[in-house]
Structure 1
Amino acid sequence: MNSHKDISEKRSSFCNSAVTGLFGIFSAHPYISMLLICIISTMPFCAASSNISSAFPIIMFFFYCVSAGLIVPRICSKYKLKDPLPVILTIAASAIGAPVFLYYRNQENKLLFVFAFGCIMLTAYYLAFHTKKMSRRFNSLLIMGMGFMVKLCYVLGTSISDRQHDVGYFEPSKETAPGHLGYISYLFYNHHLYDGDYREIFQYCHPPLHHALCAAWVGFLNRVLGVDIENAVESAQVLPLFYSMTIIITAYKIFRYFKLEGKALYIPLIITAFHPCFTYLSAFMNNDALTWALTMGAILCTLQWYKAPTIANIIKIALCLGLGMMTKLSAALAAFPIAFVFIIVFFRSIKTSWKKNLGQYAAFLTVCFPLGMWFPIRGLIRWGIPLTYVQELPEMDQSIKGITFWERITDFSLKQVQNVYENWLWRDESGAPQGFNEHNPLIAILKNSIFGEFINGNNFPGMAYMDTVCKILFWLGVALAAAAFMAMIVYLFRKTAADRLEKGFITFFHIVLIINLYILSKNYPMVCSMNFRYLMPTVVTGALFLGYAVSELENSPKSAVKALRVPVYFAVIAFSALSTYVYMVVASTT
């Protein structure tokens, strides 16, 4: 009996050590761990569901059996079940799973299987290894893990030509091709930047960091690993998938910086992890995902520098902001709120450490300015291209020049929201214009924050009920956005765990992004200029203040106020569930 007991204890101890070790590695190195997870999850089929072979369920069954060998003994240990019961239950769990995997082996659409398998495994590990001491980390990891599964499946079901912005095509030669994919192909084949006035070629005006990383990734797969060029290019979606997940990780770190705990942490984290904008961002082959990942990194590092103003922390800000601008110059918008913090800190400590601060600011500029500005300065010197040059667009049906900016921002007629998808002017078979263009920036961003530009009723063939589902999802999103905005106004001035400068910094960043979008919309009167992809960090900043509202509801002594928690929790869970469902359907019907 003692030998059986010793074996059982050793088995349980091994399972605990294995999972705890992995959990510890992820907690200590979340960004590196997430990169490895993204690579492992996508590379066997080059980020395309069409490459999922019938052998894939067999591989997953092997992983399922290994997981059963870790989870079942752990659960048995919790309930003090002695040998040989853990062994019998492990074998039984493996045997029960076998026919399920065999059934899905011959199914054409395997995305649902991938999603269900991932969520079940995450839940099983959570239930088996969750401890009260590590509750916050386990709960947060489960939320982020579920959010990752949605993004993974969306990426697998979305090709580099589906629902993309300005990607053009990948030219299999040294010739130039338009769009972001053309930019990547030029770098891949030529190993240098386009040596001419880049205004002549669509999207070559962007700094090259994202495109260079994609070209290097494609080169490694194609030239080193021997992956054919088509699959190598498709697999580059692993990079935006990783970037979008780093935004979620950074958001978590920001929420924790502001000392959110319990439901006040989980509610904003759920909103961020499942928000549709970060789902469709995960498949973008343009430079948006990396831009926002680095920008949010700069925001987090600024908060960390404010708490501990060391040279190492300010260099981190410089690297994030400089590399963000080397990806897309609009990352420089974060420089305004960052400079605001620098100025306030300088004047607060002018009598004690002004020399130290000036030295740190000099170090910041020494790193950030060359990284962020070398590309536009190169264009200015060689071809006279303005530093803030924006790609010019030809006249198109999406132009809204015929409506004044004032009319656009004040028009809230109900006809604009009869269709929750973005409205675009289109032409029938005779060439006659039909419908109308979206023109109010606020209504446009509320719509495309949920569905982007490309998701509408055509994505749900034979599923008329999906229009109703999407309407509910849209109005839930509007309600949460309104609640977050009101919370930002209230808790900017109400006392919280954060001081006014910290909250002012986040609010300033939020406002700068919104003002920039309205300026962009005014100067470039096109439907595409009113896009939520220019505002994505506002999901995180808004959710942060909503977390403070949840904290007050949780701790309120008044039962009437406390009762308001229920509709908030219901709205967030419903929003996340419907977002998951809509994007799983979209990915499965591509």
Structure 2
Amino acid sequence: MLIRSRSIMKSENRIFPVSLLVMLAVMVLFRQDALYKIPVWVWITISVFVVCSNLFLFLQKKKVSKNWLSASICSIPLLFAIQWGCYFRDHFKKDETVILWSTVALGVLLAVGLIYLFFIRPIDEDTVFLLLFSGLLIRVFYVVMTQANYYQNDMGKLVSGGDGHLGYIYTIYETGKLPDRLMYQFYHPPLHHMVAAGVMRIATLLGANAAKADEIIQCLSLFYVTASLGLMNKIALRLKISAKARAVAVGLGGFLPYGVMMSGAVNNDPLMTLLVMAFIYFTMKWYEKPTIPNIIPMALCIGGGMMSKMSAVLIAPAGAIVMLVKLWQERRAFGRYVKQFLVFGVIAFPLGLWHSIRNMILFHLPLGYVPGPAAEKQLITDNSLWTRLFDLTGQLEQYSLRWNRHEALLDHNIFTAVTKCTVFGESDYYRRNPIVEGVGTVMFWLTAVLFVTLLVGGILWLKKGKSKTLWKVFFSVGAGTILFSYIKFCFDYPYVCTMNVRYVMAAIYIGLVALAAGSDALTGRRPDKAGKGGVALRVFTVVYMVCCSLLMLNFSYLT
């Protein structure tokens, strides 16, 4: 049993090197405005290498799914297929018949493959890895086939003197230091921007065009978001959730439309979300083995998360509860824990707060400063608490966000707005393509059902789950603090844009873990016991994954 447990814990890490290598491959091999970056003979060489390496592994009787290097190698032909998809898109993007039949063909192929994974093949660790890998590939598809200036938040320009997140990155790239003046989005902590500027510097030294480096920055987010999914799976394993339940969580998380769109983001949300998920994982690891080497990653994650975006601090109360409970349980070793907490504080507080203190000294900004949006056309102050939370008047006439006061009625209901944003982001492409409108409408309602299901699954876990009470409190406080802060933020800054789902992605991932745990609570964690609820959940997951894939395909036709 111990050997099996170690095997599973090792296999759960395969997605991290795979996603890192795929990220590097995307950086080197692709760009969005041409069929390929490198000559055809290089593609042929790569293909020969793929065939030979996997033939060697086959003769060694090693399964591809159990070998992270082989999985990375096998992804290259799939990336090649995606790039030829760009060629196909560019030549047929205005042919509605071709778009329709390519959508139908993709839907059928995906449905057959997912039905095999969820209902015919036994669900095990390889299934979970394949679903994580599928989540990586749809993100690669999105990043490669969608122009970098689409579906972004607070993007700005990647030029000298530019503003927004790209301007912030370019300033660090150009000068080698932090901005010495306040411009749009420059108040943010700089970890993401420093990493992006560093990668941009390396890329340009190797011959990349600085003006096109936004595509390279997207690749960083591709890794961050995929790694967040991998951490979600590792967290679920810490809770001893079955592979069958984790497959559902990974499938839904991997194909959440905004989660796919966030993999192409150039802002700091993906890195912050990754570090919050890492903090959750390392907190659980520290609780099981409370040592200084285990508390240091906790401190680095929460400090680094706050150095990416200050809202990462919202997960801190949940972590503090775990630390205090452990201190109480082992109060006879009080001195040992005080030392650990001091180490934690010495690392986390300077990392998380130094930039805010810098802003306070240089620019007289208060700690936790958030500027209000300048766009008065988004203002929705004339809505009561009841209206913002429960009123649906006019909210379902259109399934993408309505921003402009010139429209009949702006989006004001928080639940419907966050659901719309989960499906379409802040884009206005909903009605430009009849297929996007049709699939998008289905996805809106599926996502609304998903959010309700997350709540129900979480309640089931809290009532019937066999996990430690501490973990139930930990996840409830973590998700609850993020959601409470989000709702408060929506009222403090009553604009349409503040209802964006990007502020609560970590809470959604926590909810997916709770849903998986709730599913296990219903089936008793017996792999041979499905039940009607478990079957319905897997059917829902298959439908959701197929619809998300079709939506992303047709989004690419619009760019």
Report the TM-score, using the length of structure 1 for normalisation: 0.80
Give 1:420's match in structure 2, choosing from 384, 393, 399.
Answer: 399
Give 1:488's match in structure 2, choosing from 458, 462, 468.
Answer: 458
Contact 1:271 1:576 in 2 (8 A): yes
Q: What is aligned with 1:533?
A: 502
CA distance in structure 1 between the aligned counterparts of 2:60 and 2:206, rounded to whole angstroms = 44
Deviation at 1:389, TM superposition (A): 0.7
Unaligned runs of 5+ in 1: 1-22, 79-96, 427-432
Q: Which moves more between the two structures, 321-330 or 31-40?
A: 31-40
State the AA in 2 paired with 1:535: V
Contact 2:168 2:185 in 1 (8 A): yes
Deviation sequence 1:532-590 (CA, Å, 0-9, x none): 10000122211112212332444599x99922333221111100111111012112331
RMSD of aligned alpha carbons: 3.4
Matched, 1:478 2:445: no
CA distance in structure 1 between the aligned counterparts of 2:452 and 2:172, rounded to whole angstroms = 43
Matched, 1:183 2:168: yes
CA distance in structure 1 between the aligned counterparts of 2:86 and 2:353, rounded to whole angstroms = 52
**SS of residue paired to 1:564:** helix
Q: 1:143 to 1:101 in 2, by over 3 A?
A: closer
Contact 1:337 1:509 in 2 (8 A): yes
Q: What is aligned with 1:524?
A: 493
Deviation sequence 1:470-504 (CA, Å, 0-9, x none): 121121121122111012122113241x2010121
Give 2:542's match in structure 1, choosing from 573, 578, 584.
Answer: 573
Q: What is aligned with 1:354?
A: 334
Q: What is aligned with 1:589?
A: 558
Q: 1:537 to 1:106 in 2, by over 3 A?
A: closer
CA distance in structure 1 between the aligned counterparts of 2:17 and 2:520, rounded to whole angstroms = 32
Give 2:438's match in structure 1, choosing from 450, 456, 468.
Answer: 468
CA distance in structure 2 between the aligned counterparts of 1:55 and 1:227, rounded to whole angstroms = 13
Q: 1:65 to 1:543 in 2, by over 3 A?
A: same
Matched, 1:53 2:36: yes
**SS of residue paired to 1:338:** helix
Deviation at 1:466, TM superposition (A): 3.1
CA distance in structure 1 between the aligned counterparts of 2:457 and 2:85, rounded to whole angstroms = 46
**SS of residue paired to 2:378:** coil
Deviation at 1:32, TM superposition (A): 4.3
CA distance in structure 1 between the aligned counterparts of 2:198 and 2:529, rounded to whole angstroms = 58
CA distance in structure 2 between the aligned counterparts of 1:411 and 1:24, rounded to whole angstroms = 46
Give 1:250's match in structure 2, choosing from 231, 236, 251.
Answer: 231
Q: 1:29 to 1:577 in 2, by over 3 A?
A: closer
Matched, 1:379 2:379: no
Give 1:164's match in structure 2, choosing from 139, 142, 152.
Answer: 152
Structure whose alpha-carbon radius of gyration is higher: 1
CA distance in structure 1 between the aligned counterparts of 2:306 and 2:515, rounded to whole angstroms = 29
CA distance in structure 2 between the aligned counterparts of 1:256 and 1:214, rounded to whole angstroms = 31
Contact 2:222 2:263 in 1 (8 A): yes
Give 1:40's match in structure 2, choosing from 4, 8, 25.
Answer: 25
Q: What is aligned with 1:364?
A: 344
Give 2:132's match in structure 1, choosing from 144, 147, 166.
Answer: 144
Q: Percent identity?
A: 25
Q: What is aligned with 1:341?
A: 322
Aligned length, in residue pairs: 514
Give 1:211's match in structure 2, choosing from 190, 193, 210.
Answer: 193
Q: 1:255 to 1:61 in 2, by over 3 A?
A: farther
Q: Which moves more between the two structures, 403-412 or 53-62?
A: 53-62
Q: 1:389 to 1:54 in 2, by over 3 A?
A: closer
Deviation at 1:231, TM superposition (A): 2.4
- Listed as ranges, the matches of 1:290-439 within 5 Å are 290-350=271-331, 352-413=332-393, 415-425=394-404, 433-439=406-412
Matched, 1:273 2:261: no
Q: 1:159 to 1:206 in 2, by over 3 A?
A: same
Contact 1:556 1:562 in 2 (8 A): no
Unaligned runs of 5+ in 2: 1-7, 62-77, 94-98
